[in-house]
Structure formats: C-alpha cells, structure tokens
Amino acid sequence: MGTVPLVIMALYIVGTPIGNLGDITKRAEETLAKVDYIACEDTRHTAILLSALGIKKPLISYYKQKEQEGAEKLVSYLLQGKDVALVSDAGMPVISDPGAVLVRKARESGIKIETVPGPTAVTTAAALAGADGGFVFIGFLPEKLSDKKKKIAPFVSSPLPLALYAGPHDVKKILAFLFDELGDRKAKLVKELTKIHESVIEISLREGISEEPRGEYVILVDGAEETSPNLSLSPEEHLSLYLSQGMDKKTAIKKVAAERNVPKDEIYKLTLK
C-alpha cells in the first residue's frame, strides 16, 4: 500500500510597494508568481501590480468589513493544500491593514506562515523625517470621537513621538483632534511617500495644515515634554528645595522658572520675601 504524500501548504504575508512599483522585492515577485491564490483588499488595485509584473493569478477579495468570512474561506483553501499570498493595497499586510484574523486562524489550523517583508509607510516616513529613538505607532484612528479618545488616552504623556495614518479627507480633522487632546505640539506631516510629490511638512498642531490635503499622510507628533516631579510643590517649596540642595540662587531661579514654564522674574520675586 503506497504512502499518501504529505501536503505542505503555506500562507505568505507579502509586502508590496507603497507607491513606486520599482520597490517590489525579487522575493515578493517570485512568491506572487508561485502561489495558487492571492488575497487582497481591492482586486482592481492588485490587478494593476500583477499586470506590471506580468503575473496572472486568481484574486480573492479580503477586506476589513468581511475579514472573518474571508479568513475562513482562505483557510479552507490552505487546508486543501493550496498556497495563498496575502497582500494589502500598499505596504505590509496586518499593519493597519486586514490580515490579523487570517494569520490567527491559519496558525490555529497548523498552517505554515511565512513573511515576505516589504515597505511600510510608518518606518519610511520616520526615516524621511529624521525621527530617531523610537516612536509609538497608533495607525488609523477610529471614526467615533469617544473611540478616538480611548485609543489616544494611554499615549498622551508618552515622551516618544506618536505616529498616525490619515487620508486626505481626514487629516485636518485629525490634527484638530490631536490639538484638543495633546495641546500644541510640533508635528511633521509626511505625504505621498515614494511618489513624485513626496514631501515633509513641519507644522504645529495649533496651526494645522493650510494647503489642500492630497494623498495619504503619516503624522509624526512630538512626544510629551518631560515634567518635573517637583511641580506638585508650591513655587516657594520648589525654589527652597533647589536652594537646600546647594544650588546657587541664580541657577535655582532659572531651573524653577523653566520647569514651571513661568517668567524668571516671577520666581525671583519669591527670593525677596
């Protein structure tokens, strides 16, 4: 009696260009050419990429609103021994794009999962803007105001920059929301990554954006300024603390004024009492 051959199937998470089609990797191209099915957000969008690569494959629509049903369908194909590649319209699937449900179900079913890395807008924007030392990636904000507040709340006091995604129709509204929640901070708007009009715009949240928004944006907002634990003290106690530590009067006045964000004259008057 013959041995039944072992069927090895795999789900490939494939990163695709975020703008310039020349950014497709050789491995991504080879993977898309060899799989049985390609799952994608918008079949029309992915068809353009495949046409440019000279690849013809069956496309399966897999988008956020139908992610649960789509994942079940794709897992059934995978369990039949078919290879499936998951792509998003741009960048890396799962990162603020559909895919998490499929990855979880595939792993629960014992399906092999491989990543084929590609461009990601947030890291590309951080590099272009000269951001270093890390950031907090928030991605897209929810639609409802209460949900927006809930998502941003844990990061209001983060000293790290906050990175968000925004479409052209939402960017002004999101900047206004961030001003309300975070106060006036400096921010960089990075738009049209890897495209002809790629640029970085430096603004404050208070002033927002004056130009008519076009294209997709990555918003990089400065982190919260570090606050002194001594702000719970009264100004007199704050000044006395530094003087008792041996700090000279001039330095102590300057330090207290800076930490409390008040004029030095205001703190100097305390020394006259």
- Phi then psi for residue 61, to 5 deg, are -70, 125
* Average pLDDT across the chain, whole number: 90
What's the pLDDT band for 234 if we cut at 50, 70, 90?
confident
- pTM for the complete prediction? 0.78
End-to-end Cα distance, the chain: 102
What does the pLDDT read at residue 220?
98
How many distinct helices (H) and strands (E) make up the chain?
A: 10, 10
With a cut of 90, say whether residue 235 has pLDDT above it: no
Longest Cα–Cα distance of the chain, Å, equals: 102
What does the pLDDT read at residue 245?
84
With a cut of 80, say whether residue 273 has pLDDT above it: no
Enumerate residues 6+ apart whose C-beta is below 8 A from 232.
Answer: none
What does the pLDDT read at residue 228?
64
Q: What is the mean pLDDT of residues 147-155?
A: 92
Residues 249-261 have pLDDT tens digits of: 888 887 787 777 7
Residues 10-27 have pLDDT tens digits of: 999 999 999 999 999 999
Question: How many Cβ atoms sit within 10 Å of the Cβ of residue 213?
Answer: 17
Q: Please state, in angstroms and as integers, the Cα–Cα distance from residue 180 to each residue in 27, 68, 184, 196, 205, following that order.
A: 45, 35, 8, 33, 9
With a cut of 50, say whether residue 137 has pLDDT above it: yes
All domains in the chain, ordered by first residue: 10-118 (3.40.1010.10), 122-221 (3.30.950.10), 229-271 (no CATH)
Residues above pLDDT 70, as percent of the chain? 95
